[in-house]
Structure 1
């Protein structure tokens, strides 16, 4: 058994001062049992906790550490930026540089506004769509999580599902009435929803690859069907690429699937690990944002110079090193295929979904294509698997309803260790 005494003590202390002892619910390990692990440091693909235990990291800060932890180019960029001040509250040169690079790398984005988190990006994009169309209703999809804005905590996945509260108290009835939901991957259902609310829907927002009910891919033609519907009905199509942006390809999911959104929300990777988000899209829509247009949105720390320095270093590297995508996709494929082989050896009929450097093992024999099929998973068994892997030095997402993310620092030796631990863990819990 790993010595976790310092983590246990820190968690006991934290609960006296922080709600639940954590600053984001999924970290509390309620979905998997046991006490959360407190990390001390990380480098490359390895995290080290306060007790000195090392783990191969398969969440990578929920996606942004695509090059691995403490990557030299990024830490050097941050170190160079720090002496010039941690914040200006004024425009800065790096904001212009990163905006220009984002527009270059994502063809659907003609203008972009920097914010401080993915939640802030999605909230702002929804307000902008409403202001642009003069409509009030929004369609989201069951199991898709777009941060903790009120409009998004209706049939949410991820943390809300993990905590057993898909519909959070504090969300008003009026907000719920303006948020329409449809099953993910069901084009007919959303078409009927639009028809029933003719000329009232401002936006359709979705994760083009869902990452918050586990990794769930869009069906063939689904994204294009939504694109055609939105064009026909004058609805703003918003792709939440906080997870997939710059991870599945330089142009994100929109490049991978060949479908462009009207607005795109970004986060994670564009901060290189620093807190950041952004939303951008067609010029005629983005020009509705204040101070150019009437839709107000502001933020004192938006375009923070430290976050911009980290994000710019990250995007420059991804823009000039296509081999990163080749490597992370290959390593992820090895893990996915090895996991399937482990399941076969053990006679287990569980489901795996993968795309690029994102993948999930679902503890169900049902093909997972939406929220309902994701909920067929045996979450108690997943909790046992999580803890068995943790004891073997593999850090998974502490929820069945989260995807895993591969980083470029993951070596073949790491992959072998992951698959060995997975086989032993699956065998142990069965």
Structure 2
């Protein structure tokens, strides 16, 4: 395994410079490589399925800016739309028609959504959806699930996944006890615990928020029974079912995870793909609920850069491309091939793994145990994953720098790229087996 400090000196120098002025040298802990050791790569540019670091190395990118680059980097339609928008002004602080056009596209794609409010991040979307659920129901309690990450909202930063899990600080200092006392944390896919909590406190529960297909403890799908009970219990007790589709929205299908699963939550949160890679978020749902938001209703939420015209233009171009030239069938086939190839290679190398996948999202867990929740995800051998990560990096394949993150296949990848990935995986797993 190569040492970043000698093999990638420009990135190492850039990281040292960044650490002097940015806490930890990064602007999000998910980029810190804390779960794999070594230092992060600094990226110079991106194009199609590739990232290029400061040292001139090229990598097949299975992060895709943590999900939004489903079309690949610098897709011509998105670039053209973004440039055109910037030429008309990068921010207005006033309404523009691009907001309405993107809202109409989201509503057209997602049957459960009748109205949409745009914000500037996924965290803002989930925070606002929780406030709306409480304001609409007049209740305080919210249920979330261990390992599901919904941004750095105080009330939801309890047993969080993503970088919070990687760094071992799922309960962050700086979050007062009072901010989390109304948050109930349950095990994902635990139907019995869910029923027990509703039986005891159903009339006090404002909503249940979850990633319908989890990406932030690695890829973990829900069971059919769990989803069925979520729908039944929330409806029976007047609580709102909130799907956090910041990651899965428009990725697992044009209508997101809920289209794939056939579900209709009361509220949905979006981000990533709907901005075409620009900072963006949104939450939406039934009109009767959404009309409680100010200025239509009493629940306050605001944002200076919400509905930013550049982000709206990039999102419109991305969604239009996904609708006109849907990549989902090809992404499904390519991601399936990756799974089959890696599992075959792991068996050959005698390395115990689990491969969880839904559509173009997937995770290779280094464990014998089938992964269905946070506890089983944490049985993974993170040291082996770290070795695998660097072996893949040295072969030009850029994976998420944590065992507990999902990887993403993108529409710019060819069959040759998939074959290259599988070959790199086979060689890397052999190296992992040797220790």
Aligned-partner Cα distance in 2 for 1:269–1:311? 7
Tell me whether 1:37 sits opposite 2:41 in the alignment.
yes
Aligned to 1:301: 305
The answer on whether the counterparts of 1:157 and 1:401 sit within 8 Å (CA) in structure 2 is: yes
Quote the offset at 1:343 in angstroms.
1.3
Aligned to 1:390: 393
The one-character-per-residue Cα deviations of 1:338-367 (angstroms, maximum 9, x if unpaired) are 111111222233111001000100010000
Aligned-partner Cα distance in 1 for 2:353–2:390? 18
Tell me whether 1:158 sits opposite 2:140 in the alignment.
no
Aligned-partner Cα distance in 2 for 1:187–1:92? 44
Tell me whether 1:200 sits opposite 2:186 in the alignment.
no
The one-character-per-residue Cα deviations of 1:110-155 (angstroms, maximum 9, x if unpaired) are 0000000000000000000000000011000000000000011111
The one-character-per-residue Cα deviations of 1:58-95 (angstroms, maximum 9, x if unpaired) are 01011100000000000000011111110000000100
Aligned to 2:271: 267
Aligned to 1:326: 329
Aligned-partner Cα distance in 2 for 1:110–1:32? 42
Counting only pairs closer than 5 Å after superposition, residues 5-404 of structure 1 correspond to structure 2 as 5-322=9-326, 324-404=327-407
The one-character-per-residue Cα deviations of 1:16-47 (angstroms, maximum 9, x if unpaired) are 10000000002111110111000011111011
The answer on whether the counterparts of 1:224 and 1:259 sit within 8 Å (CA) in structure 2 is: no
Aligned-partner Cα distance in 2 for 1:15–1:416? 37
Aligned-partner Cα distance in 2 for 1:163–1:341? 31
Quote the offset at 1:396 in angstroms.
0.4
The one-character-per-residue Cα deviations of 1:282-320 (angstroms, maximum 9, x if unpaired) are 011000000000000000100000000000001111122
The answer on whether the counterparts of 2:59 and 2:398 sit within 8 Å (CA) in structure 1 is: yes
Tell me whether 1:411 sits opposite 2:421 in the alignment.
no
Moved over 2 A (4+): none
- 3-state DSSP of counterpart to 2:385: helix
Length-normalised TM-score, structure 1:
0.99
Quote the offset at 1:222 in angstroms.
1.7
- 3-state DSSP of counterpart to 2:347: helix
Match of 1:420 among 420, 423, 428: 423
- 3-state DSSP of counterpart to 1:221: helix
Quote the offset at 1:394 in angstroms.
0.5
Q: Which moved more, 1:237-246 or 1:1-10?
A: 1-10
Aligned-partner Cα distance in 2 for 1:292–1:403? 38
Quote the offset at 1:412 in angstroms.
1.0
Aligned-partner Cα distance in 2 for 1:398–1:378? 14
Aligned-partner Cα distance in 2 for 1:187–1:320? 39
The answer on whether the counterparts of 2:246 and 2:272 sit within 8 Å (CA) in structure 1 is: yes
- State the Cα RMSD in Å: 0.9
Aligned-partner Cα distance in 2 for 1:59–1:331? 15
- 3-state DSSP of counterpart to 1:264: strand
Quote the offset at 1:326 in angstroms.
1.0
Quote the offset at 1:156 in angstroms.
0.6
The answer on whether the counterparts of 2:161 and 2:216 sit within 8 Å (CA) in structure 1 is: yes
Aligned-partner Cα distance in 1 for 2:26–2:352? 35
